[in-house]
Structure 1
């Protein structure tokens, strides 16, 4: 089959859903959106409480890293959403932009036009924040952003302890400097997940000029005479072609966008020849510069039962599900986060370099009932992340087979500074939970365990427990240097009519979570494409 459109958008994730929706606002534009996953109708994609079940479901690509040489040669899962909305349909629904200086740093690295003041209008354009329109937030955008809440006594104790230790307790992480403690906003609307597909794509699908194809995996970009002409893809075992009269926009994410470029012969020539892919353009930066937040969990026994555990009793949860179905309220309408903290490893740096997420439950919490199934032990969970890791990984082809998963190498802790920062984070958390009112709630350290004290013991514990923050970025980096893949207009260097717009274009991983920035990238990309 051969079809012709003005714009072909590859990937219906956080950025791609936005781009397709915005381009189709002009009825003269014929827009095709190609998504390898299926529809986002499953209740697990809608009910916020169920999001932990999605990482090993049919809605995930099932990617894994190669053995990680600086983390005991462990193989890590690398979750990414395979469904309309992409990872915005399977993530933890946290609305986070990072630090304003993150974007100023992008501009200083050659991403002209991407400073904080220049991207803020696109954050605001996308957003319908519960606070309403203001200097930091949008009030009329498609993406509903709601207030984070927790009635757990331990959450109050965390805030009180933070104040007693002279940390800032904030009302809004996005109102300037995010250093401090707060509950983050959530991409939840009326108790349902507000994914990019629900917020942007669902209202746009009624437009006759927008075509959305699901279950279709792009195998290569069509390049003729140095210009992208569209994409080849496979659907139901049959090869099809979609032609783009104007632009082809690649929004497949930090793993799949470089994979598709490589399959199209765009990337490091030596690697392409080694795999057996004909070289279209030697572009060394494709797939390099992979950045991801290393995350190490800690667990502490709780001296008092959490309210969340009580609500997970089978009969109570069943009633709460009925309440959720009827009103959008109840336990299924949220996630049990107690606090976020962005903090500095030492006071002389300009931005927080560490993040802590406190959760007032065991991450293995489950439904239970007296005499039938016991609840898991009460626990205060702490997730520790290094926000701007120095280590760099890569994405490469495993073979010339376009349906084979890519090679992913994170190289966590390749740079010793990342390991030092994580060691500092674990010691910081240990100290924090023994202070102020929080100390009355927290008992024994369950993981990694109080016996891990020396640098060597902590390093060993970190290597055996580290996992990903699920925020990959940087594999098609934007800038003006030799390793840049796209220019500040997101145009692939050396190929006309081809752009990349997703988290892969970040020159440096932001100090926060990546869903909201990916949506912003989609907004700004669409505006630049329409202006051109």
Structure 2
């Protein structure tokens, strides 16, 4: 580790950068260094000593089980600068360090003198170097939260993610030592806004099985879209791939922000008909959408060349009216919002944590929940906490239990682990079909036969067009909504390198047109194949098992066939003078006779794909009630896409983020009413 630090530091010095702060978090240590000054905070409460070239760190046990760390810093002219001085951090376990003092690394890299650190007794390091601009880093012991871990919003050394919030941590031991009003399992599309909302009045632990999205170009940069889904593994990758029993390759997110960190970014609200069908409070729904959109939604400006062509082709093919730019769900053709800003930077649900009360929330990363903990209360099953595995870089760091604060009587565990994760966790916890649980020797706590049942994924069919005209990478910006919202048609464009020979590469420009079957009737089921929570469950969606779903696909492909004949798309045809003109397709082509429904239906089945909008498994009425509480269980809710009977809107991320905010506000109102 010292050698790696030295190499990085020398590289930075060679670039003429005088001061730099890095944070590299492992399950036992947080390493910080600035210029030639190294600070090692050893989180194990044992006496230990480690010498680096720039300084000496001692961790000293305190009476009562706490600890303090002493840092002797060696100033360095031009690098560390200023004068070095001793620093004593605060005691652990929330108590004051005797004579706590602080050594600060100033904004220009100078090591300042010591000053009183007060009850928090913090050791602070602040600078403006390559760690992400203004931000700095801080480790705090004591105070109301007991500890905090902060660092600037820039990217860490060697591609390590950064931690821009003061409440993000990987320290499972310290997190498990506290109790919380709410424990939320899953820092994804719904979990982040839910946690931010509840933290306004209550203490919240948000547990995420993946890492931080910040500082990772494969997440933040728009032109990297799709890369996380091409580079998957079982335990560490941003996306975790799985294959349905139908044979379709899919992916689920494993990162703070959930699916919003890996999706195409298109943002469009659920229809008013959907909102009424769900029985939601329409005013609160609108307010919750606006709360999300203020932070995370942008108007595409300008439209990409291919998106402009898709818009024109839809209108020429009769997908009317043209509704311009709108976030509302309207029949016809429209430009929707995007969670990519116009600099191509992605904004995920994790950004909504900016709304959180930093004194009331902790976000624990790399924590995979293995089961919900229960007790019997007045003859009823009551959630009392969560058991989880702490793992960083795929290494099992041990099992922990974290509990809710039962002194308030209203504390809860809330599952927001997604349409695979939430039903999977219920099953692992002993809630689900009893016969299935028996097969895996899982103790049956509550027979709830609908857990994991009725799941859906919307089938997709696509056509690819090779363009002779340069195209930029572009995710979805335009959508056609037709057939009484039963079909959605989109387009996106890509650039790929083609190897002509061993030394010559050329750009190939591709435009895609694809259609999604909305509200399919076909449904499937989810079941466990392992008691390991890190493994994917088995899922079968039964695509096209209902004939009407296939009929919708046929109708959608006929609209795409009409679009291919429009001037807007024919502008991408190759020159016909050489005999090989016309549109060039990549991949399968539509049947020549587009009036042959059987042939088009075969195309739908042969080229079945997903748009990753899978949902269901914890349905309202069968698994949860209208307040998202598990039926027959006290103190346990589910708030995420697993509660949807149908996917909302053209793309579900807008409504799923809204749902997190919506249910959070509802819970705050419930608590206020109970208090009064």
TM-score, normalised via structure 2 length: 0.64
Residues 1:241 and 2:401 are matched in the alignment? yes
Shift of 1:378: 3.7
Match of 1:449 in 2: 589
Q: Once structures 1 and 2 are overlaid, which stretch shifts more, 51-60 or 497-506?
A: 51-60
- C-alpha offsets along residues 275-301 of structure 1, whole Å, 9 cap, x if unaligned? 221111111111111122111111234
* Distance in 2, Cα, partners of 1:402 & 1:158: 42
- Which of the pair is proportionally richer in strand? 2
Q: Once structures 1 and 2 are overlaid, which stretch shifts more, 491-500 or 177-186?
A: 177-186
* Distance in 1, Cα, partners of 2:486 & 2:332: 12
* Distance in 1, Cα, partners of 2:366 & 2:267: 28
Shift of 1:67: 2.9
Residues 1:265 and 2:403 are matched in the alignment? no
Residues 1:223 and 2:374 are matched in the alignment? yes
- C-alpha offsets along residues 323-366 of structure 1, whole Å, 9 cap, x if unaligned? xxxxxxxx7xxx3546321111xxxxxx321111122446xx34
Q: 2:324 aligns with which of 154, 171, 188?
A: 171
* Distance in 2, Cα, partners of 1:400 & 1:160: 51
Match of 2:261 in 1: 89
CA RMSD of aligned residues (A): 2.5
* Distance in 2, Cα, partners of 1:450 & 1:77: 22
Match of 2:15 in 1: none
Change (3 A) 1:437 1:48: closer
Shift of 1:463: 2.0
Task: Verify the 8 A CA contact 1:306 1:360 in the aligned structure 2.
Answer: no
Match of 1:328 in 2: none
Does the residue aligned with 1:273 lie in a helix, a strand or coil?
helix
Matches within 5 A, 1:326-337: 335-337=474-476
* Distance in 2, Cα, partners of 1:403 & 1:447: 35
Match of 1:65 in 2: 243
* Distance in 2, Cα, partners of 1:493 & 1:517: 23
Match of 1:515 in 2: 653
Q: 2:639 aligns with which of 481, 501, 510?
A: 501
Residues 1:423 and 2:554 are matched in the alignment? yes
* Distance in 1, Cα, partners of 2:609 & 2:462: 8
Task: Verify the 8 A CA contact 1:47 1:193 in the aligned structure 2.
Answer: yes
Match of 1:411 in 2: 542
Between the two proteins, the alignment pairs up a number of residues equal to 463
* Distance in 1, Cα, partners of 2:257 & 2:291: 18
* Distance in 2, Cα, partners of 1:50 & 1:295: 22
Shift of 1:367: 8.5
* Distance in 2, Cα, partners of 1:16 & 1:467: 27
Change (3 A) 1:404 1:446: closer
Match of 1:458 in 2: 600
Shift of 1:11: 0.6
Match of 1:121 in 2: 287
Unaligned runs of 5+ in 2: 1-175, 406-410, 574-582, 671-676
TM-score, normalised via structure 1 length: 0.81
- C-alpha offsets along residues 79-122 of structure 1, whole Å, 9 cap, x if unaligned? 11101111111111111223221122223xxxxxx164552222
* Distance in 2, Cα, partners of 1:221 & 1:144: 32
* Distance in 1, Cα, partners of 2:667 & 2:498: 48
Task: Verify the 8 A CA contact 1:273 1:279 in the aligned structure 2.
Answer: yes
Shift of 1:16: 0.8
Q: 2:348 aligns with which of 187, 190, 195?
A: 195
Match of 2:334 in 1: 182
* Distance in 2, Cα, partners of 1:288 & 1:159: 38
* Distance in 2, Cα, partners of 1:150 & 1:124: 23
Match of 1:45 in 2: 219
Match of 2:470 in 1: 306
Task: Verify the 8 A CA contact 1:394 1:409 in the aligned structure 2.
Answer: yes
Residues 1:487 and 2:625 are matched in the alignment? yes
* Distance in 1, Cα, partners of 2:338 & 2:603: 32
Match of 1:311 in 2: none
* Distance in 1, Cα, partners of 2:307 & 2:533: 47
Change (3 A) 1:160 1:467: closer
* Distance in 2, Cα, partners of 1:234 & 1:378: 44
Unaligned runs of 5+ in 1: 69-74, 108-113, 129-142, 309-330, 345-350
Match of 2:492 in 1: 359
Task: Verify the 8 A CA contact 2:314 2:480 in the aligned structure 1.
Answer: no
Q: 2:612 aligns with which of 463, 466, 470?
A: 470
Task: Verify the 8 A CA contact 2:306 2:471 in the aligned structure 1.
Answer: no
Does the residue aligned with 2:414 lie in a helix, a strand or coil?
strand
Does the residue aligned with 2:505 lie in a helix, a strand or coil?
coil
Task: Verify the 8 A CA contact 2:184 2:414 in the aligned structure 1.
Answer: yes
Shift of 1:61: 4.4
* Distance in 1, Cα, partners of 2:255 & 2:313: 41
Task: Verify the 8 A CA contact 1:31 1:211 in the aligned structure 2.
Answer: yes
Task: Verify the 8 A CA contact 2:590 2:603 in the aligned structure 1.
Answer: no
* Distance in 2, Cα, partners of 1:156 & 1:498: 47
Change (3 A) 1:207 1:511: closer
